[in-house]
Amino acid sequence: MEKKETNKKFTIIIIALVSIGLVYGIYKYVHSLSHETTDDAQIEKNMNPIIPRVTGYVTKVYVKDNDFVKKGDTLFTIDDKDYQVKVEEANAALVAAQGNLEVSKADIGGALANISISEANISSAGGNIETAKIRLSRATNDFVRYQNLYKNKSITKQQFEQAEAAKLEAESEVRILQQQQKASSFQKSVASSRSNVTNKQTEVAAANIKRAQAVLDAAKLNLSYTVVTASIDGQVSKINIQPGQLVQPGQSLFYIINNSEAWVIANFKETQLSKMVIGQKVGISVDAYPDTEFMGTITSFSPATGARFSLLPPDNATGNFVKTIQRLPVKISLDANNDPEKIKNLRPGMNVDVDVHLK
């Protein structure tokens, strides 16, 4: 009798287990018709690298591991003595370039004054030449008249020689004035050439000022880079620098995690993608917070499988092909109606389970 009772209980248990398994299997089957799930997914956030722009020795670190910082907060400083010297040197070069420009402008003024003087001399010589030519014409006429009178013995030889001397003197005066006019024209030409040269020198001096100003601006910019500040609000990672340490431009020292925005990267099998589209709602369960369900939306699909972005992507043409199901990264944005405080508590790299609602 007891044996029959035992067999009956065992049979009931078996039937119950089979029923539960059948119900669960039916539920999973029905669920799979309108859902796609994966546990190959992680939380992602923007991780802003802190990279110095100048070389130098760290003088002081203002943050500690895992500190929260605001945009503009000083993270650490670099010894700025060398950069201050470069600023002073560049400033001195700028002052010298400005002085050269003033000298060139003064030279231009002198050259223009010489041109004006030469033009005045040319104009004056022209007037004097015309006056001298009038005198020469009158002296020539007198000489011709006195020459005829002398031939007729109407005047004395002394009077004739005086008329001849007056004519020769007038001719000499015209020649001298013409030579002076040519000399003034030559001086004007020389002054004009000097003015052109000085103008070029002024242009060069102005260009040197711009170059010196650019060098000064670059020196000031490098000096400002010795104070490294936070570019965003967030939380710093482990601080891997100490005072006295030499840092180089482009060297990634630590990170600032932007806690205000988070998303999920879920790696779905290629066989799961046929019914998935952008805009579908997603339920997200974070392993660290099993009692909280976050809601999200599919926003984009990766252009290639994860294997293609690996350091050594597979090459199936080498003869070692083995067919394996590939996974494609899918970006899932967290909806705005999620609790922002809980979003801040999420950390990049946390494992999550995602459930895509296909319908």
pLDDT category of residue 56 using cuts at 50, 70 and 90: very high
Q: What is the largest CA-CA distance in the chain?
A: 193
Q: Confirm if 284 and 350 have CB atoms less than 8 A apart.
A: no
Residue 105 has pLDDT above 90, yes or no: no
Higher-pLDDT residue of 314 and 88 is 88
Q: How far apart are CA 343 and CA 334, in angstroms?
A: 9
- Average pLDDT estimate for 283-296: 90
pLDDT category of residue 32 using cuts at 50, 70 and 90: low
- Structure confidence at residue 207 (pLDDT): 76
- Kindly report, residue by residue over 124-137, the tens digit of the pLDDT: 555 556 666 666 66
Find the angle CA(178)-CA(183)-CA(189) to the nearest 5 degrees: 130
Q: How far apart are CA 71 and CA 92, in angstroms?
A: 35
Q: Confirm if 282 and 295 have CB atoms less than 8 A apart.
A: yes
Residue ranges per structural domain of the chain = 35-46+258-358, 81-226
Q: Confirm if 253 and 247 have CB atoms less than 8 A apart.
A: yes
What tokens were used for 347? 């950390």
Amino acid (1-letter code) at residue 200: K
Query: Per DSSP, what are the bridge partners of residue 234?
Result: 69
- Structure confidence at residue 148 (pLDDT): 66
- Structure confidence at residue 239 (pLDDT): 92
Asked which of 29-38, 59-68, 71-80, 116-125 is least confident by mean pLDDT, the reply is 116-125
pLDDT category of residue 259 using cuts at 50, 70 and 90: confident
- Tell me the three state secondary structure of residue 265: strand
Residue 149 has pLDDT above 80, yes or no: no
The CATH architecture that domain 81-226 belongs to is Orthogonal Bundle (1.10)
Q: Confirm if 170 and 93 have CB atoms less than 8 A apart.
A: no
CB atoms under 10 Å from CB of 115, counted, come to 18
Q: What fold characterizes domain 35-46+258-358?
A: Elongation Factor Tu (Ef-tu); domain 3 (2.40.30)
- Kindly report, residue by residue over 11-28, the tens digit of the pLDDT: 777 877 777 777 777 666
For 241-247, the CB contacts below 8 A with 24+ separation are: 241/58, 241/61, 241/76, 242/58, 242/61, 243/58, 243/59, 243/60, 243/61, 244/57, 244/58, 245/57, 245/58, 246/55, 246/56, 246/57, 246/58, 247/52, 247/55, 247/56, 247/57, 247/58, 247/78
Q: Confirm if 256 and 231 have CB atoms less than 8 A apart.
A: yes
Residue 102, classified by CB atoms within 10 Å of its CB into exposed (0-12), middle (13-18) or buried (19+), is exposed
* Alpha carbon 293 to chain centroid, angstroms: 44
For 201-206, the CB contacts below 8 A with 24+ separation are: 201/104, 201/107, 202/101, 202/104, 202/105, 202/108, 205/97, 205/100, 205/101, 205/103, 205/104, 206/101
Q: How far apart are CA 245 and CA 60, in angstroms?
A: 10
- Structure confidence at residue 265 (pLDDT): 95
Helices (H), 63-156: 81-151
The number of helices, as runs of H, and strands, as runs of E, in the chain is: 4, 14
Distance (Å) of CA 119 to CA 115, 116, 122, 298 = 6, 5, 5, 85
